[in-house]
């Protein structure tokens, strides 16, 4: 009850920020003119607001997008507000592992540094679908595509940090809904990746968001073991009505959002935690943590389970490897 009251009031936590904070406030003293950032899902909602604020602070931005036209329009809006902002639009379908590889190859051909990777894109669909790689579509888009994208970009991020002396940061956008998932992750993924199955859209979404949390935990451990000057954290942005719910529009969805309207954040408020974790100097060397309302908190019990994180990583390597028997080691 006390926590709910603090949330509604917007009481600041130990970071000095809270549920009502905005990304403009959280990045007020940040100078990102030497920063290159990749932001997935930057065409609308939280991703677009994150991109706007990073551009305001001077960052060079890379927009990977399935809908290139929408990305160009998002770029135009930012450049009109902040003339001189450098934004590169590139095609990427996160549900396709071949598309992820093509994007990374294209990015590498630009010979740019990479300081910041924000894995923000997500989908919530009520219809069951399978990706071209044979993986349930929500999991493929929200987690597996980002897993491969991150691994393929790690060498560039590690190299950039070594050359500049500035710590690289990876931010995985998850959701508090990750705590709704219980059971065997891999077995449930196997079941919903079949052409015919009993499909629960909410549980599938919760699984993908739990995978984001576990990915953060395991990747942080691996980065620390090799002494890489790169951190990774995950954030729960809060509840906000964005285009993420576009596949679930209707009377029931509208009624739920109306009844919970006092708990909803604005899009800027929802982007605040992402921007805080991506840029705040307080978080140097902070890695493997879970944040909400711009403050560190604790994920679910399953999301804190190191053995589950290791198991998911091993399964993910197999799923994204072109030749399943081949070793996949981004740190070599």
Task: Tell me how long the chain is.
Answer: 332
Token pair for 26: 């959280």
Cα–Cα dist 115/150, whole Å: 12
Instruction: Give the bridge partners for 231, in sequence order.
Output: 169
Q: Which residues participate in catalysis according to the annotation?
A: 205
Phi-psi region of 253 (alpha: psi -120 to 50; beta: other; left: phi over 0): alpha
Strand boundaries in the chain, DSSP class E: 36-39, 60-65, 87-91, 116-119, 168-173, 230-236, 290-292, 295-297
Cα–Cα dist 203/180, whole Å: 7
Q: Say if residues 296 and 78 touch (Cβ distance below 8 Å).
A: no
Token pair for 5: 């009251």
- How deeply is 3 buried, as exposed, middle or buried, from its count of CB atoms within 10 A (0-12, 13-18, 19+)? exposed
Q: Provide CB contacts within 8 A for 252, sequence distance 6+.
A: none
| Cα separation values, 6 from 91, 128, 178, 313, Å | 41, 38, 22, 36
CA 40 to chain centre: 7
């Amino acid at each position: 009850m006390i926590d709910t009251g603090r949330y509604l009031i917007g009481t600041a936590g130990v970071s000095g920020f809270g549920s009502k904070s905005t990304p403009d406030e959280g990045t007020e003293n940040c100078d990102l003119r030497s920063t290159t950032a990749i932001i997935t899902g930057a065409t609308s909602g939280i991703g677009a607001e994150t991109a706007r604020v990073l551009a305001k602070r001077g960052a060079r931005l890379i927009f990977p997008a399935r809908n290139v036209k929408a990305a160009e329009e998002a770029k135009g809006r930012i450049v009109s507000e902040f003339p001189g902002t450098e934004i590169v639009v590139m095609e990427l379908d996160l549900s396709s592992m071949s598309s992820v590889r093509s994007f990374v190859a294209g990015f590498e051909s630009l010979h740019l540094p990479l300081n910041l990777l924000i894995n923000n894109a997500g989908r919530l669909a009520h219809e069951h679908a399978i990706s071209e790689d044979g993986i349930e579509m929500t999991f493929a888009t929200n987690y597996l595509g980002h897993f491969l994208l991150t691994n393929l970009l790690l060498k560039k991020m590690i190299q950039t940090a070594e050359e500049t002396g500035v710590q690289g940061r990876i931010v995985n956008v998850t959701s508090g809904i990750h705590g709704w998932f219980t059971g065997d992750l891999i077995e449930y993924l196997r079941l919903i990746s079949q052409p015919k199955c009993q499909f629960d859209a909410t549980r599938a979404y919760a699984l993908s968001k739990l995978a984001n949390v576990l990915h953060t935990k395991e990747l942080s451990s691996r980065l620390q073991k090799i002494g890489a000057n790169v951190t990774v954290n995950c954030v729960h942005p809060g509840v906000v009505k964005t285009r993420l719910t576009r596949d679930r529009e209707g009377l029931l969805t509208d009624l739920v959002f109306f009844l919970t309207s006092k708990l909803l954040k604005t899009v800027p408020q929802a982007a605040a935690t992402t921007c805080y974790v991506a840029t705040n100097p307080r978080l140097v060397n902070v890695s493997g943590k879970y944040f909400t309302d711009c403050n560190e908190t604790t994920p679910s019990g399953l999301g804190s389970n190191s053995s589950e994180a290791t198991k998911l990583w091993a399964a993910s390597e197999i799923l994204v490897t072109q030749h399943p028997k081949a070793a996949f080691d981004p740190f070599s």
